[in-house]
Amino acid sequence: MVIIGLTGGSGVGKGCVCREFLKYNINSIDTDQTARQVCDKGKPCLNELVTYFGNVILNDDGTLNRKQLASIAFADKDKHAFLNKTTHYYILNEARAWLNTQRAEGHIAAIVDAPLLFESSFDKECDVIISVTAPREKRIERLLIRDNIPLEAIELRLSKQWNDEFYTEKSNFVIQNNGSLEEVAEQVKKIYNQLFSSSNME
């Protein structure tokens, strides 16, 4: 089974790319969603974060206040590094278990959608790396709608992320998502054919 690492900055539209690959029966795991699950109330990951950051990152009901955690972590390099290191451990274990299931079910490929693919070193466990890029203004527009957070918070988040050149240099394929679903679909089709055409599978 081919393990595809899909990455790119916030708001580039990785989910859109995954939906296009699903048309070819290639499933994906969203590590952003996995990150939420491993930080559920009572989970070991959340307990470690509370030990480090304090109860200030919790809501009154003991669940994680994600916006509060983000505001603290993104503003401090060391705290940001601790957050990534801690969550990566639990997220990647979940991803590996999911990949084992995909392999057992006989899938030809599976996608790990991971914004921090390189930072977590999970790229070393992938056979193919695909990065998604998009114009900055498009990314901001999408994040304003999706996350419902202030523009200042989005600017801070993007300032902590790599530029397009970083992803391009480290990837086997790059998908440009400028807003046209048809263009994304065509790029996904081209990559699928290059990876899984009959001649390449021999």
The predicted model scores a pTM of 0.86
Which amino acid, one-letter code, is at 193?
Answer: N
pLDDT tens digits for 136-157? 999 999 999 888 888 988 988 8
CA distance 142 to 139: 5
pLDDT tens digits for 77-90? 999 999 999 999 99
How buried is residue 171: exposed, middle or buried, by Cβ count under 10 Å (0-12/13-18/19+)?
buried
Three-class secondary structure of residue 3 per DSSP: strand
Distance of alpha carbon 114 from the chain centroid? 3
pLDDT tens digits for 15-65? 999 999 999 999 999 999 999 999 999 999 999 999 999 999 999 999 999
pLDDT of residue 198: 56
- Number of separate domains in the chain: 1
In a domain, 201, yes or no: no
Residues 10-19 as b or e (16 or more Cβ within 10 Å = b): bbbbbbbbbe
pLDDT of residue 140: 93
Range of the domain at 73: 2-195
Domain harbouring 134, CATH code:
3.40.50.300
* pLDDT level of residue 7 (50, 70, 90 thresholds): very high
In a domain, 200, yes or no: no
